[in-house]
Structures are given as structure tokens and as C-alpha cells.
Structure 1
Amino acid sequence: MRIREYRDSDKERMMQLLMMGLTVINEEDQEFLFCKENKILVFDLENVGVVGFCSFGRWGKQKENGKLFLYVGQEYRRRKIGTALHQAIMAYAKPFQLNVIETVFRIDQNDATEYFSKLGYRKWYGLHVMSYHGGMQPRSNMEIVPYEDRFYESYVEEIRKSFYEMRQVNDFKPYNCVEFSEKQRKELIQDKEHLYVLLVDGKFAASAAVHTELTDVCGPIFVASAYQGKGYGKIITQFVMNEALHRGMKSITLEVVEWNERAVNLYKSLGFEIIQTTNSFRLFLK
């Protein structure tokens, strides 16, 4: 047995291990795991092959923070394989004098909270993946239209307001999820075939999306501040659910931060079930 550097030929085996323990791995985590700029180590067990791995990368304006994804196959746990991989990655990271290292792991199955807590990590936030396998939702006669550039100012202003408290409470920086910029404006125009806007008397009231290729199929879902508490979140969500089903999806998945209980309860009322919960933990080094 030995710890060695990752090779491209390891990818298939690593994904096999992951899917034995994770119901869903989102696009961002999968991209990070195999990022060419990362330090990726694998634990190679003789006559078996790769049974665990750790991918480590740096982020921030000055690359002053770190992120690691550590995973050991379920049947190979409690053999100190994870500890060996973590020690090797931490030895690699030490010269960078990082401020903080974050990691993510599943808690609703083979919970690793105790393991990471003993290493000094503390909980940051939780994330649910919810899934819907039902049929069409009731249709509304509200006016819901595809996104257009004329909605730009309202869209950016209201999405910032909608997610600001959640981002502040959970320390998601920057607290404003988007900025007013020409780059953002162009990105929204490029995504207009996937974005929908609910109008009330011609005014921007809510928005949601349909991205059939993403884990968070219908996000971001939000309601303008002046129209909250009136059921418009449910209406726009039902609309994009129907649109996703119309496009051929057999099931719909959403990602929602554990803190956002109101959204979790709304999605449950529409037939979504939580199929996976992960926690992000942080290790502060300074």
C-alpha cells in the first residue's frame, strides 16, 4: 500500500468509489476534484487499486485559502487511510501559510463529522439535495415570461436582496451574490433561454430557471422583496418544474442551503424529498 500522485487513469475508479457513497456529486465539486491545478493524492492498495483520495486546491485573491476533498471507500474506512491522506496533504499545504481550509462531506450516510471535528474543523453550513419524481403541477394564469434584457436591473437588485441575509448569516463572501456589471448583464442574456420571470401588473415579482444539465435544475429561485409572502415563490417554482418535465426530465433535483428552512418546506410541499445532505466544515489556521 502507498500514497502516490494521481494519474488520469485513476479517474474512473475514483468516480466509482464516490458514487458508492454519494447519491449526487454536483458539477462544482466534480470539477474541483479533478482540477489540473490541484494537488491530488491517491491511496493505492496492493491487489485492489485506489481505495481513497484527496484533492487539494488554493483559492482567494492571493491564493491564501485552501479547499480539500477527502474520500475513502466505505469498506476501507477505519484503517487510517483517510488520516494518512490528510497528513500528506497538510504537509504539502503547510509552506503556503493558509488562513483557512474548507472541506465537504456527506452527513446523512456514514457521517464524518466526528472525524473532521477531531482534526479541528468546525461546521460552516449544510446543503440539501432534494429530488422530485412526480407529475405535472397545477398551472397558474399568472404572467410568466422568458428573461429579457429589460429585466436586468430588477433581476440583479432583487436576487441580491433575496440572498443577502442567507449569505451574511452563513458567511458566504461576498454577501452580494452578484454585481451590477456588463459581464453579468451579458451572462444573463446568454442564459435567457433558461430563465423565467413572473410579472405582476407588468412588474418584476419573481424568477426561476430550468437548467436540465445541472444538479440545481430550477435555481436560483427568488421573489422580489415587495412581493414576498404572497405565494409567488410557489407559482414560479411550479412553472419551472412543469417546464423541466416538458423538456423530458424524469426527475428534478434542487440544491438548498440547510439554513433556508422556508424554501425546504416549500419544496417538500410540492413533493420534493431530501435525498442527500452534506456539511461544509472549515479549519482555521490563523
Structure 2
Amino acid sequence: MIRDYNQADIEEIVRLHTLEYKAMPAEIENLKSASKILVYEDRGIKGFIHLEMSGNHCYVEMGAATSELIIPDNWYLNASKEAIENNRKVSLEEKEYNYLFFKNNEILGASMVKNAEIELLFVNIKYQRKGYGKKILEYTINRGLEQSPTSVNLNALASNEKALKLYKDLGFKVVQAQDARRLNIGGD
């Protein structure tokens, strides 16, 4: 059953909201003071949605109770040959946004920045924790600033504390937080 929440539901809503990531205190307070939240109830609250409209902006928060283990989406493991080939063609068409980094003829890492949005940042596990991630990110930020001189954005998993620290150390700030944190360098 879907119904309006009542004040007695708030603690469970906050618990569901923070299952996947560490919410910022302001986010939790905003949720606690919300005027409209819908909950999905089936022998207890199983999920919620909070929709807030402000001017030209819409802000949505959701949470769900789940016992499923969240794993990376390695779509290509079950993809058809046609889907993989199509993905390869699209990647080649956008090759000017992709950057590969090598050391001793071995892939060190990769990045992609398109429309000043960092869509990919990867460091080979063999080279992690040696400063290469920072160098790749700095290079990628500079390519993004060539695309938009005022700001560069990226999304990061809120649970990836090491990555968040790196991004913040290089000047990014959290501008939106959900299951993934949206960060921005430059602009507002």
C-alpha cells in the first residue's frame, strides 16, 4: 500500500535513506521537516519517496529496504555481441573525450570527460595508492575546463571515502547528495 507518511514514520524513513550512503546532516533535517512524503508499506515501511518543488527545480529523495547485495553493474558480462559492438562504436565516435594512460606499455588508467562532466576515472589496481589517480584526475579536470572554463562536475559513490577525499583535496565540493554524490569544481 502507498500512503502519506505520518510523524511516527520519520525515524524509519531516515534509516532507509541512509542505508546506501552517509547522508549530510542538512539532508536528514530537510527530510525530517518535509511536508510531503509517500511511503510504501507492506508489513512495515519498505520504501519512500520525497519530492520537493522549488521554483524551476525538482528535488527527489528515495529509499528502499532491501536484503539484496549491491554489486557493480558489469552489463557486458551478459550483453549480446551486438550490444557490445554498439558500445564499442559509440566509444570510438566519442574518442576525443576518452584518455588512456600507460606506463611501461601497460594501461595505468583511463578517464573520460564530456561536456565538462567526468564520466569515467579509472586506475589500474597495480598502480593504485601511488599518486597516479591524482595525476589522472588533474589532467582530466584540465580537459574539462577546456570544455567549460567555469566548472567541471562528476558523480561519486557516497560510500567511496577515499575517492571523495581525493576529489575534495583537488577542489571539488558536494553540490548534491543521493546514492551518489554530485561534485563540482569551480562554478556554484
Taking structure 1 as the reference length, what is the TM-score of the superposition? 0.39
Q: 1:262 aligns with which of 158, 162, 168?
A: 162
Equivalent residue letter for 2:134: K
In 2, Cα distance between equivalents of 1:191 and 1:170: 33
Matched with 1:191 is 94
**Backbone CA RMSD of aligned residues:** 3.4
In 2, Cα distance between equivalents of 1:113 and 1:197: 46
How many residue pairs get matched? 129
Equivalent residue letter for 2:145: L
Q: Contact 1:218–1:237 (CA<8 Å) still a contact in 2? A: no
Equivalent residue letter for 2:46: Y
Quick one: structure 1 residues 270 and 184, their matched pair in 2 at CA, closer, same or farther if it must change by over 3 Å?
same
Equivalent residue letter for 2:135: I
What CA deviation, in whole Å up to 9, does each residue of 1:65-88 have, x standing for no partner? xxxxxxxxxxxxxxxxx839xxxx
What CA deviation, in whole Å up to 9, does each residue of 1:203-250 have, x standing for no partner? 21111111116xxx1121111122212111111110010111122330
Where structure 1 has 5 or more consecutive residues not aligned to the other structure, the ranges are: 1-81, 85-105, 124-168, 281-286
Q: Aligned with 1:266: secondary structure?
A: helix
1:184-263 map, 5 Å: 184-212=87-115, 217-263=117-163
Q: Aligned with 2:142: secondary structure?
A: helix
Matched with 1:31 is none
Give aligned-pair identity as a percent: 26
Equivalent residue letter for 2:123: V
Q: Aligned with 1:229: secondary structure?
A: coil
Quick one: structure 1 residues 113 and 231, their matched pair in 2 at CA, closer, same or farther if it must change by over 3 Å?
farther
In 1, Cα distance between equivalents of 2:71 and 2:33: 21
In 1, Cα distance between equivalents of 2:40 and 2:112: 40
Q: Aligned with 2:99: secondary structure?
A: strand
Quick one: structure 1 residues 197 and 263, their matched pair in 2 at CA, closer, same or farther if it must change by over 3 Å?
same
In 2, Cα distance between equivalents of 1:113 and 1:278: 18
In 2, Cα distance between equivalents of 1:187 and 1:208: 16
* Higher strand proportion: 2
Q: Contact 1:208–1:236 (CA<8 Å) still a contact in 2? A: yes
Matched, 1:176 2:74: yes
Q: Contact 2:4–2:38 (CA<8 Å) still a contact in 1? A: no
Q: 2:4 aligns with which of 83, 96, 99?
A: 83
Structure 1 position 259, deviation (Å): 1.2
In 2, Cα distance between equivalents of 1:244 and 1:172: 29
Matched with 1:17 is none
Larger Rg: 1
Taking structure 2 as the reference length, what is the TM-score of the superposition? 0.56
Per chain length, whose mean CA-contact separation is higher, i.e. which structure has more relative contact order (CA < 8 Å, sep 6+)?
A: 1
Structure 1 position 118, deviation (Å): 7.5
Matched with 2:171 is 271
In 2, Cα distance between equivalents of 1:113 and 1:121: 20
What CA deviation, in whole Å up to 9, does each residue of 1:129-149 have, x standing for no partner? xxxxxxxxxxxxxxxxxxxxx
